[in-house]
A = this chain, B = another copy of it.
Amino acid sequence: MSGRLYGIGVGPGDPELLTLKAVRLIAEADVIAYPAPADGTESMARMIAGPHIPDGKTEIVIETPMIPGQFPANDVYDRYAVEIADHLNAGRSVAVLCEGDPFLYGSFMYLFGRLAADFESEVVPGVSSLGACAARAGQPLVSRNQVLTIVPAPLDEAELEARIAIADAVAIMKVGRHLDKVRAVLGKLGRLETAVYVERATLAGERVLPLTELKTERAPYFSMILARRAEAVDA
């Protein structure tokens, strides 16, 4: 009998934000896999789940080239899908760890797309960076019948502006080197004053401050900007 494939959300950073189900499945799985930058930097997902990974597990490091502005090549996922399929075919369960929630911009979906038709699989949702950033900022995302739009900062300026203009609230992800562009768009739309910048939410080195007080030109990958229409703050 084939092993089961799990995509496990490990949450935004604090190891205490893993779910009970994630902890149980990590303990039970035969093999633990997780993405890591190909440059040897530590895997964020492995770091978050670390306290819950029993010693002696077989681990697969999914080395992912991180080229700004580009997405990992399909051949990377093709290769790791084969390696994971070998374990599943041998009857071993494989838990793939995912930062935040697996299906919200998570790279697990590329493995899921390659393996879910052939193997029993289960996705375990996790606490997303979205909810974590709002919690740490002490700022509700949306209430009542408001619309929330999640926008990746790499979009071009006109597209960013169009998306943000009609949303009651926005969460701008993947800020990185797009910080200046985001600032310009929010300024144009009169939303700079309501914008909050959150970096490394729930992790050591967390920063939460009004965007207008942020003095850098570049943000790390793990940062987010939350902004609301001024009149939408009704909570």
Contact = CB atoms under 8 A, between A and B. Distances in A.
A121 B24 CA distance: 30
Interface string A63-101: 000000001000000000000000000000000000001
A2 interface: no
Given A16-B24, A24-B16, A141-B104, A235 B110 contact: yes
Q: How many copies does the complex hold?
A: 2
A41 interface: no
Contacts of A123: 134-136, 138
Interface string A178-212: 00000000000000000000000010000000000
Contacts of A106: 140
A43 interface: no
Contacts of A136: 123
A89 to B, nearest CB: 21
A20 B21 contact: no
Interface stretch (A32-40, A54-62, A145-153): A145-153
Nearest to A150: B148
Interface string A115-132: 010000101111110111
6 contacts: A16-B19, A101-B135, A105-B142, A123-B138, A124-B135, A128-B130
